[in-house]
Amino acid sequence: MLPTEILQKVEKPREGFYSTKVLGSDAFPVRVFLPHGYEPNYPYPLVVMLHGKGGDEEKIIKLAPKISRRNFICIGLRGTKSLTNQEFQQGFSWGMGHDQDACLEEYIFKAVEMARRQYHIHSERVFLAGFCEGASQAYRVGLSHPDKFAGVASLNGLIPQGCRILSRLNELRGKPVFHAHGLVNSVAPLGQAQRDQKLLVNGGMMVTSRTYPTNHRIHVDMLRDLNAWIVDWIVREDEM
């Protein structure tokens, strides 16, 4: 019989949630969701998930099975700024400013690199998806680095003010963007989201836009439509 330590190495990972960290100037937590029937020989798409203000990696990764239990590997990251006040007893934010931006980019890139080392991930099928404040960061990072992400998904989010996210416009033409928004969202008003959508369309991006009967909370149909959007993109890419 093989020694126990060898058996543990060759055993196929099972569906579920796993915790790990990426190392930099700080140790950043990463929560992983492996799909049902994970097959190491199949190159999976990767969905990088960024939570809203006051959330954390645990809360956002719990949405992964509601997107799909089979189609993707997902990783949830934690905001780089801790929040402790009357509104948020425990939670995190993505912060503001150049230092926070650089820290988040390093965090995301290293988390993707780590996931690719541990699991079989398609290098050209990495999607960045954010909720509320996390969606703003998904816009900023994803559109600033179009070479690193297959597409960007915003759930109830807005393009951050003052960010030059269209500075690489030529590389962004044809880039897929999923834009999902609540009809009665008072935190991120629908009118502003629609202006963001128009900006992206005018920039030549392929924007899929949906609205839902909800406020700033995630509607279950947003997650189903996010799954369909990624799958449709993969099918089109395979047919080309």
- In the chain, where the domains are located: 25-239
The predicted structure's pLDDT at residue 4:
38
What is the structure's pLDDT at 27?
Answer: 77
Nearest by Cα to 224 from 144, 152, 139, 153: 153
- The pLDDT value recorded for residue 130 is 98
Q: What is the model's pLDDT at position 3?
A: 41
Instruction: Give dist(CA 176, CA 57) in Å, integer.
Output: 25
Give me the pLDDT at residue 5, please.
Answer: 40
- Per-residue model confidence (pLDDT) at position 41: 93
Parts of the chain with a pLDDT under 50: 1-10
pLDDT at 95: 77
> How much is the pLDDT for 86?
57
- Per-residue confidence (pLDDT) for residue 8, from 0 to 100: 41
**What topology does CATH give the domain 25-239?**
Rossmann fold (3.40.50)
